[in-house]
Amino acid sequence: MKTLNMHDEDLAAMLRALGHPVRLSILRILGTQTDCCCTDVTQCLPLAQSTVSQHIKVLLDAGLIERQAKGTRNCYSLRSDRLEAVNSACAGLLAGLVQAPQRLPETV
């Protein structure tokens, strides 16, 4: 798998989008179904369609999902390339932090 370099601003924007449990649920729904419209997602969640639409917009703006027009419907799907990039960037960041030199406790 190829590792993509990601700027901190891009990573932070995607992590903000991932920072809400409803949006994580939407990603899981899109990961198990193909060609989901907002109504399909709403039927899987105990939320109003307008609320689901707002969360979908955040995921779209972060580039984590994409929209395709199918007739009069907008269908949504995961952007696997972007999700893989977030995964790689987070793994690299956390690995670097774990390996960072540890501070010694301060003595009083």
Which CATH number goes with the domain that contains 68? 1.10.10.10
Q: Is the pLDDT of residue 41 over 50?
A: yes
76 close to 56: Cβ distance less than 8 angstroms: yes
Counting the structural domains of the chain, the total is 1
pTM of the predicted structure, to 2 decimals:
0.81
In a domain, 95, yes or no: no
DSSP structural state of residue 66 = E
| Each residue's pLDDT tens digit, 43-70 | 999 999 999 999 999 999 999 999 999 9
In a domain, 2, yes or no: no
Indicate the average pLDDT of the chain: 88
In a domain, 74, yes or no: yes
29 close to 23: Cβ distance less than 8 angstroms: no
Residue 48, domain extent: 8-90
In a domain, 39, yes or no: yes
Q: Which of 59, 68, 82 is nearest to 36 (CA)?
A: 68
